[in-house]
Amino acid sequence: MTEEKPISFELLEFYRRSKNLFFVIITTALTWWTFTDLVDGNWGSLENSLENLSVFFQESLWPPNWKVLDAQSYPVCERNWEILCSPGYIGIVETLKIAFVATGFGFVLSLPIAVLASRNLYRDEVAIPFRLLLSAMRTLPSIIWAILFVIIIGLGPVAGVLAMTFYTIGYLGKLQYETIEGLSSEPLDAARAMGLKNSEVAIRVVIPECANNLISQILFMFEYNVRHGSVIGIVGAGGIGYHISTYLKFLQYDKVIALLIVLFIVVVIIDLLSIKARSYFVDDATFKSPSLFGNIFKDK
C-alpha cells in the first residue's frame, strides 16, 4: 500500500500537466484557425505590413514634434512658464481631472450596486437585475457614452466626465461583485448568525474584508480612465484626445506621437505611484516600491 501512493500522485501530476498542455494546444489551434478564417486567403495584405510601418514611422511619426509643449498662440499666455499654456500640458491636465472625477463618482455609485448584485448576499431575484444593469452600462464603450453625452449636453470635459463615470460604474461594479463573491462564507455566516441584515453585513464585514482589493481596483480604474481619455476626446469630450484628434485631421502625426509619449509617461508615473499607494493599504504586500523611486518615497 505504501508503494502505490507515490505512483498515484505521479499519475495525478501527469494528468494535470497533460490537461494544461491539451488546453494550450487546443487554444492555439483554435486561435490560428480563427485568424486564418479572418484573413480569408488574402495573405498578400500582410506581406508589406512591416515595410509600410517602417516607412510611416520614419517619414511621419519620428522624430516627435515637441512644439506641442510650446504655448498656444491664442489665448495669450499669462503664466510664468509657457509650457503651462501648451496643448500638451493643458490636454493631459484636463484628462487627469476627467479621469479623477469619473473614477471617484464611479466608485461611489458602483459599490452599492455591486453589493446588491452579489449572489452571496442577496437572492437571484435581487442580484440578477443589478447584474444586468452593470452589464448594460459596460456594454457601451466609453467613446459611445461620450458621443451620447456630447449630443445631450454639448462639447467639453463635462461630457467626458459623465461618459467615463457611466462606463466606470459598469466596469468597476463587475470587479467589485466578483471580489465580494470570492469571500469566504464563514464570516458571512457568523455575521448572519448574530442577526445582522444584509446591508449591515456589507458595511461591517464585506467592505472591510474586501478593502485591499477595492483599493487596487480603484487605482487600476483611474489609470484605465487616464488612458481612455485619449479616446473620448476625439469625439469632443475634452482631454488630450481633443488635441490628438485635431492633429490627426491635419496629418500632423509627429505631434500626435509627441502627445502619446507624454500620455505614456504620465501613465507610467501613475502606475509607480499606485504601487506605493497600495503598499500602505495591503498589510502583507509581496511587492515593493520601485527602487528608482525608493529614496523619494522613503518613509521617515
CATH code of the domain containing 114: 1.10.3720.10
3-state secondary structure of 65: coil
Instruction: Give the residue carrying C-alpha cell 476627467.
Output: 98
pLDDT value, residue 2: 46
Answer whether residue 26 is part of any domain.
Answer: no
DSSP state of 123: -
Whether 251 is in a domain gets the answer yes
Query: Taking 60 as the threshold, does the pLDDT of residue 287 lie above it?
Result: no
Cα-Cα-Cα-Cα dihedral of 178, 179, 181, 185, to 10°? 170
3-class SS of residue 196: coil
Report the C-alpha gap between 286 and 300 in whole angstroms.
Answer: 21
- Residue 296: strand, helix, or coil: coil
Banded pLDDT at 297 (limits 50, 70, 90): very low
Does residue 135 have a pLDDT over 60? yes
* 31 within a domain of the structure (yes/no): no
* Burial class for 156, CB neighbours closer than 10 Å (0-12, 13-18, 19+): middle
In a domain, 255, yes or no: yes
Q: pLDDT at position 296, please?
A: 46
Residue 36 lies in a domain: no
Asked if residue 48 has pLDDT above 70, the reply is no
Q: State the Cα–Cα distance between residues 18 and 9, nearest whole angstrom.
A: 14
Quote the DSSP letter at residue 78.
Answer: -
Quick one: what percent of the chain has pLDDT higher than 90? 4
Report how many domains make up the chain.
1
Segment 100-129 shows an average pLDDT of: 87
Nearest 5 degrees, angle CA 160-CA 165-CA 168? 125
* Statement: residue 290 has pLDDT above 70: no
Q: Which of 34-48, 160-174, 260-274 has the highest mean pLDDT?
A: 160-174
Q: What is the pLDDT of residue 293?
A: 47
Spatial contact of 237 and 95, defined as CB atoms under 8 Å apart: no
Look at 56-65, 109-118, 123-132, 209-218 and tell me which has the smallest mean pLDDT. 56-65
**Higher confidence at residue 299 or residue 193?**
193
Of the segments 146-150, 185-189, 226-230, 278-282, which one has the largest average pLDDT value?
146-150
Range of the structural domain that residue 237 is part of: 89-293
Within-domain flag for 33: no
The pLDDT, as a whole number, for residue 105 is: 92
Q: Is residue 80 part of a domain?
A: no
Dihedral (C-alpha) 170, 174, 179, 183: value to the nearest 10 degrees? 120
User: What's the grid cell of residue 14?
Assistant: 501527469
Angstrom distance (rounded) from CA 289 to CA 191:
36
On whether the CB atoms of residues 223 and 282 are closer than 8 A, the answer is: no
The alpha helices in 140-206, defined as continuous H runs, are 142-153, 157-181, 185-193, 198-201
Considering only residues 216 and 198, tell me which one the structure prediction assigns the higher pLDDT.
216
Rg of the chain on CA atoms, in Å = 25
pLDDT at residue 225 tops 50: yes
Predicted confidence band of residue 142 (pLDDT cuts 50, 70, 90): confident
pLDDT for position 248: 79
Please indicate, yes or no, if residue 45 is contained in any of the structural domains.
no
pLDDT exceeds 80 at position 46 = no
Reference 172, options 124, 123, 120, 137; nearest CA is 137
